[in-house]
Amino acid sequence: MADKLIIVESPAKANTIKKFLGGSTKVLASMGHIRDLPKSKLGVDVEHDFEPEYINIRGKGDLIKTLKKEAKQAKKIYIATDPDREGEAIAWHLAYILQDEKEKITRVTFNEITKSAVQKAIKEPRDIDINLVDAQQARRVLDRIVGYKISPVLWKKVKRGLSAGRVQSVAVKLIVDRENEIENFKPEEYWNIYAKLKDKETKKKFEARFYGKDGKKQEIHTEKEVNEILKNIEHATYIVDEVKKGEKKRTPAPPFTTSTMQQEASRKLGFTLKKTMSIAQGLYEGVKIPEKGTIGLITYMRTDSTRISEEARAAAKEHITATYGENYYENRYYKTKKDSQDAHEGIRPTYADLEPDKIQDALTKDQYKLYKLIYHRFMASQMAAAIYDTMAVNIKANGYDFKANGQTIRFKGFMTLYVEGSDSNEKEEEGMLPPLKEQQEVILENIEPKQSFTEPPPRYTEASLVKALEEKGIGRPSTYSPTITTILERRYIEKIQKQLVPTELGKIVNKLLTENFSDVINVEFTAKIENEFDDIAEGKEMWKKMIREFYGPFELEIEKVEKELEHVELVDEVSDVPCEKCGRMMVYKFGRYGKFLACPGYPECKNAKPIIETIDVPCPKCGAKVQVRKTKKRRNYYICENNPESCDYISWNKPKPGEKWNPQEAEEVKKETSKKVTRKTTTRKKKSTKNKAVKTSKKK
């Protein structure tokens, strides 16, 4: 008989905790949620104050029996699910399942899975926080109502199987809106003038950029303006008018939050959000380290706080001063955003002495990469600023101003260990100018005007979309990854070279939702709802009251939209491709893999075929048309329309006019594209063999 029963969500977490407690303590895993709303119906009783109709999750019957049996035998039951709203809700559902033993049940939480943190939590149990549970219930119920009420509209007007979500639909809207901005963007011309100059004394060359005239900034929009400036400075003498020397400090970024970790792992490691969270979960729950056993390597990975405990701060100080010297350490405190849930610390390593390289052999390749990123980011956050020597120079040429800037690093500080990535392609220029003096002349080596055009805003990447969602107050740390994963899986968007692009299906769904449910599918409403969830978590608002206030107007909106769309039919776009079987002009349809051509005569004529996209550059080998196709992983490749009959051109890269093709580069593409065929063939063979085996056994 166990004195203590501890229930967590996952077996990995259970294994890590077991070793810290020993004795007659039993640790079991609930394998995530144990109860939830049913999938087959709304599961919310709108007639009786929105009471959720929770059921035990299918397939968990045996686990529930085991939990009840062990709970009956234990003297004390500790529910140690994750320290957030979702974890609190799981704890509440577990308490419901084990209500016969409710006198024994208590709740414990810890931000890191270390011996001291677990033992401390067991000594300081608390009751389940019903406010946190209600915040989770409010999100679950509201999202269920929105999804189950709006989705049937999509089924009737677009196609069955589609679904709408409160946060996911807003994320799709952001991506579609950005694509519209790009498509409607009109580039504007602008010019820069660069002067290549040389210091007479040192002979060192440097570059200065045109600024304006008589100290006033002047933008150049046309070649005519450029020529006028060049004419006026054709025989000018270039004189150093002003020299400013100074010092610039660069401070480190704060410890990771969920959002910044996802963004940085995307930029620096190329990880998807889903992959980042999966690896972080494993690092948090425990990894087997030689001589230490299974231990949690990082703190809880779902947080929007940058706060750090004093113990962690002290450990960082000891490590930094011992490794780099006292002048590299600075005790830093970071402000947490006002709307963040400050229940947890920022993401940091649990043991300062476990440097990434020391434990590399105990980690998978990806675990090592992410742990190293987290470890270095945290340590750098407690280090001194980097110091630059700067120099800014203004140069006069016949009344016109040219400016040059230079900098060199004097003290690297935190940059010895870590530098934060950026979504921008701009790089910080470094390099000192010659030791110029005011009123000295510099020699003009060359002057070069450069024409440029303004560029449209970039498409979102996973990292920049997370940043946008966070800035706009849409979703919370636990929702970013599932939101983007869901809209990718539903094929409302696709990823092309790391950029998120709306599909035709995504555009159609977005248009229907935003035109008919603009009060719900918008940024402001979604952000407002998130703040209301926060108020519920803090006990400032009742969750059913919030749902009541939302549901009344929403129900009227649903009725209005259904009535308006009752006689509206979405007409298929007609193509210019005739059906080779019956002669009708084929129409565009949307399937699981996107747009395709189908005969409008269905079901009499069932002809359908893929849309073959071609480019305006001929095949570099035979001059025929080049088609754009996709691999199973949705990566574009380019192939001659005559491949494989009479031409073997195939490439990852879009051909350029006059470009010669290297046949060797085709091998990788062939391997990747032929895998799909091989797998399908293998699967068919297996199924065929299985069927034959069944038939044989029946005969016997």
Of 445, 30, 477, give the one whose Cα is nearest residue 206: 445
Residue 370 and residue 317 in contact, taking contact as beta carbons nearer than 8 Å: no
- What lies within 8 Å, CB to CB, of 143 at 6+ separation is 165, 166, 167
| Assigned token pair, 228 | 């006028």
Task: Tell how strand 4-8 and strand 76-79 pair up.
Answer: parallel
- What lies within 8 Å, CB to CB, of 611 at 6+ separation is 588, 595, 596, 597
- Return the number of other C-beta atoms located less than 10 Å from residue 421's C-beta: 16
Of 39, 121, 36, 124, give the one whose Cα is nearest residue 81: 121
Residue 156 and residue 565 in contact, taking contact as beta carbons nearer than 8 Å: yes
The residue annotated as part of the active site, out of 78, 300, 388, 649, is 300
- Return the number of other C-beta atoms located less than 10 Å from residue 350's C-beta: 20
Question: Could you tell me which residues are beta bridge partners of residue 392?
Answer: 244, 405
CA 246 to chain centre: 39
Q: Residue 209 in 3-state DSSP?
A: strand
- Residue holding tokens 């401390």? 120
User: What secondary structure letter does DSSP report for 265?
Assistant: I
Of 35, 169, 179, 146, give the one whose Cα is nearest residue 94: 35
Q: Catalytic residue at 300?
A: yes
Q: Residue 594 in 3-state DSSP?
A: strand
Residue 526 and residue 170 in contact, taking contact as beta carbons nearer than 8 Å: yes
Distance from C-alpha of 64 to C-alpha of 86, rounded to nearest angstrom: 19
Of 408, 515, 613, 475, give the one whose Cα is nearest residue 167: 475
Burial degree of 93 (CB within 10 A; 0-12, 13-18, 19+): buried
| Assigned token pair, 360 | 């590399």
- Residue holding tokens 């100059």? 197
Residue 284 and residue 298 in contact, taking contact as beta carbons nearer than 8 Å: yes
Angle between helix axes 85-97 and 61-73 (nearest 10 degrees) is: 80
Give helix then strand counts, H and E, for the chain: 17, 27
Of 484, 170, 475, give the one whose Cα is nearest residue 340: 475
Tell me the CA distances in angstroms from 94 to 31, 33, 87, 101, one per residue in order: 11, 9, 11, 11
The catalytic site residues sit at: 300
